[in-house]
């Protein structure tokens, strides 16, 4: 029997990168994965890859920053499957700029997706989880939400907020059999980080004690653990996956 047989997992930002790998890993453990994003073609491709491998995957287009669309996803999943066991708030964007030059739209868009998106989906799944007296929520944070980063005040603030959101919600729902945790990746090799200049990559590598970059699967394995029964007594925790960048 696989780890998540019979479980229903909702993963936001699942059309590529870390979100796609998380979805694939949960499907390998038997979960029915519901992939959420705005990029329909990419969602279809990820869902297709999961089903070709023998896993179970569905996809729903939604803008995580819109409360109504988050609620619609939760209602559709519960209507179809009668439950939501796992939520992984992974959707995230960057709009980097020094604060002095940062446009209001750059601030607002990052906070809307990265932080309000986590709020929207967490709130949307709470009722079915509370009714079941079971649930697992994991927010994908970031090392920069713990230490800050020049040119990323918006992104760092959103990720610090995701951590505070998780800790606060963990206290609210702990007695209902629901855990809420965070995974805070460091430098992970994705399409987003590949766009960074080579000198920036070298500077990061010098700062990482393990002298190597992480892979999306490293984050996925941490998420899988926090969703599992083995982590049933862990809540309000931030699990760092960063090769020692921040200890």
From 155, 187, 233, 246, active-site residue: 155
Beta bridge partners of 138: 88, 181
Q: How far apart are CA 74 and CA 101, in angstroms?
A: 38
- Are 21 and 220 in contact by the 8 Å Cβ rule? The answer is yes
User: Phi and psi at residue 59, in whole multiples of 5°?
Assistant: -135, 150
Q: Which two tokens stand for residue 113?
A: 């997706």
Q: Which two tokens stand for residue 111?
A: 């906070």
Q: Which two tokens stand for residue 206?
A: 């010098």
Question: Does 187 qualify as catalytic in the annotation?
Answer: no
Closest C-alpha among 11, 141, 128 to residue 64: 11
Catalytic residues: 155
């Amino acid at each position: 029997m696989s780890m998540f047989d019979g479980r229903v997992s909702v993963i936001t930002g699942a059309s590529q990168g870390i979100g796609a790998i998380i979805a694939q890993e949960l499907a390998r453990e038997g979960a029915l994965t519901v992939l959420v994003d705005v990029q329909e073609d990419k969602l279809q491709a990820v869902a297709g890859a999961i089903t070709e491998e023998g896993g179970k995957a569905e996809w729903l287009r939604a803008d995580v920053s819109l409360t109504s669309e988050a609620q619609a996803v939760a209602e559709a999943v519960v209507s179809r499957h009668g439950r939501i066991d796992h939520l992984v708030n992974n959707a995230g964007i960057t709009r980097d700029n020094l604060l002095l030059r940062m446009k209001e739209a750059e601030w607002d868009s990052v906070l809307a997706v990265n932080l309000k998106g986590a709020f929207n989906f967490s709130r949307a799944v709470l009722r079915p989880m509370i009714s079941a007296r079971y649930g697992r929520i994991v927010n994908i944070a970031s090392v920069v939400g713990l230490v800050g980063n020049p040119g990323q005040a918006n992104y760092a603030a959103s990720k610090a907020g995701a951590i505070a959101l998780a800790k606060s919600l963990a206290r609210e729902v702990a007695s209902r059999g629901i855990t809420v945790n965070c995974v805070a990746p460091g430098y992970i090799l994705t399409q987003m980080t590949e766009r960074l200049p080579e000198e920036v990559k070298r500077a990061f590598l010098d700062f990482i004690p393990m002298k190597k970059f992480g892979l999306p699967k490293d984050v996925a394995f941490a998420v899988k653990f926090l969703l599992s029964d083995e982590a049933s007594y862990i809540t309000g925790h931030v699990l760092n996956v960063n090769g020692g960048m921040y200890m």
